[in-house]
A and B are shown apart, each in its own frame.
Chain A
């Protein structure tokens, strides 16, 4: 069965500093991988996705993620964090047909001045 692990419950980053949020997945075949963001009072929004091809994918709001099959990871990165990036971030894995995306437990990002 598919599973996703986000080992960091909370992360605090200074504004302007770089960010990396970790995501590890378990899936027997080639996964489809997603990062979603949940801002306070808003629904989840897709940041980026990986299906195949280039292992470095670009998303909205300056985020990127790199798929590393050997490490079963799909870490999210941003070179310079803005205060508006404070939110909860969820990694998810899917399969053919995208039925039943399996989500991780989320990482809450706090941005300090």
Chain B
């Protein structure tokens, strides 16, 4: 597609369950980011992938959070043993490194509700 695609758009789960969120970046974009947006708060950086380099995981809040990316394509954010404080909108963004634009293209997000 033309933009960043995220799925599911909404996910309701029970506390303690695992969830997987998927991001399909814009074709050709080598950089991929995950951010978390809690209600009434700004965007919180989680993880950054750039090509085949080791990802920057410095924003992951706990070891329950992990993310993978296959090459320069789809990424999956996994949250294990979900807690109520994990409820948020998870935003994925991609960018075309090397163009010096600094512009991130965001998906519409996956809204996660943990009951």
Contacts and interface: CB of A to CB of B under 8 A. Distances in A.
Interface of A: 4, 6, 9, 32, 34, 36, 41-46, 49, 51, 90, 92, 94, 98-106
Given A6-B42, A101-B45, 15 more contacts: A9-B40, A42-B108, A43-B3, A43-B105, A43-B107, A43-B109, A44-B91, A49-B103, A51-B102, A94-B102, A98-B104, A100-B33, A100-B58, A100-B59, A104-B42
B56 A100 contact: yes
Given A100-B56, A104-B42, A44 B102 contact: no
A89 B35 CA distance: 16
A41 B108 contact: yes
Interface in B27-76: 33, 35, 40-43, 45, 48, 50, 56, 58-59
Contacts of A51: 100, 102
Interface in B75-115: 91, 93, 95, 100-109
Q: Which of A41, A43, A94 has the most CB of B within 10 A?
A: A43
Interface of B: 3-4, 33, 35, 40-43, 45, 48, 50, 56, 58-59, 91, 93, 95, 100-109
Contacts of A99: 48, 50, 56
Q: Which of A34, A41, A42, A46 has the most CB of B within 10 A?
A: A46
Contact of B103 (A4, A46, A103): A46
Nearest to B6: A43
Nearest to A91: B42
Q: Which of B50, B95, B100, B102 has the most CB of A within 10 A?
A: B102
Contacts of A105: 40-42
Contact of A101 (B3, B104, B107): B104
Given A43-B3, A98-B95, A103 B106 contact: no
A43 B106 contact: yes
A44 B106 CA distance: 6
A46 B104 contact: yes
Contacts of B104: 44, 46, 98, 101
Nearest to A99: B48
